[in-house]
């Protein structure tokens, strides 16, 4: 059986490729271990680096949780939303984020919250705001002592009620100073927003 020149050439090419692949195949390029890929001198150094990264991520998660706990604290939240203007609130949150500590007990958390409140009162609030929050804090302290003496719980709702009461007292005080005009304006605003009064 005779082959054409083109057929012989194809057969020879297939044979030579097969020989080359058998002769030069070394099992593929060997990939270096990860610790070498990332520039570490030893595998132990790489494992230590991985563990440190894991510890840092855990610390950051705990730190973020601690920030959220402080930001939703009833006194901190009321100061930011009811007393401060947006610029003050933004600066207050930035200060909290920069100075947060991870604590393990309720006593430590309460002390940290007190420190943040003191910073806000001293450094961020205007005079009228400062007078208002001082009245709130004094009322909270008195109510807490009274409830403790009576063995009654003192919680978030009690603090919100104190904020509401002190705010209303402040409005009434301003109304007396302005000859009743401030109270009338406040009542008009509340009546306008209260749908139950639209009858």
Name the domain boundary from 76, 105, 125: 125
pTM listed for this prediction? 0.66
**78 and 89 fall within a common domain:** yes
Contact 123, 88 (CB under 8 A): no
Q: Is 179 left (phi over 0), alpha (psi -120 to 50) or beta?
A: left
Q: What is the pLDDT of residues 6-25, one digit of tens each?
A: 554 555 555 555 545 444 44
Quote the domain boundaries for residue 144. 126-194
Domain assignment present for residue 94? The answer is yes
pLDDT for res 40: 73
């Amino acid at each position: 059986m005779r082959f054409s020149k083109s057929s012989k050439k194809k057969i020879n090419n297939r044979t030579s490729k097969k020989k080359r692949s058998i002769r030069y195949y070394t099992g593929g390029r060997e990939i270096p271990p990860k610790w070498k890929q990332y520039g570490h001198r030893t595998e132990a150094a790489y494992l230590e680096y991985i563990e440190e990264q894991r510890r840092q991520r855990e610390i950051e998660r705990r730190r973020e949780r601690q920030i959220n706990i402080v930001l939703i604290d009833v006194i901190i939240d009321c100061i930011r939303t009811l007393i401060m203007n947006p610029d003050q609130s933004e600066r207050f949150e930035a200060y909290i984020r920069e100075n947060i500590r991870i604590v393990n007990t309720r006593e430590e958390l309460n002390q940290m919250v007190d420190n943040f409140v003191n910073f806000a009162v001293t450094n961020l609030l205007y005079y009228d705001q400062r007078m208002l929050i001082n009245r709130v804090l004094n009322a909270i302290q008195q109510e807490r002592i009274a409830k403790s003496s009576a063995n009654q719980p003192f919680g978030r709702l009690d603090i919100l009620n104190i904020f509401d009461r002190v705010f209303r007292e402040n409005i009434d005080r301003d109304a007396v100073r302005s000859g009743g005009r401030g109270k009338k304006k406040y009542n008009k605003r509340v009546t306008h927003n209260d749908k139950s009064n639209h009858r």
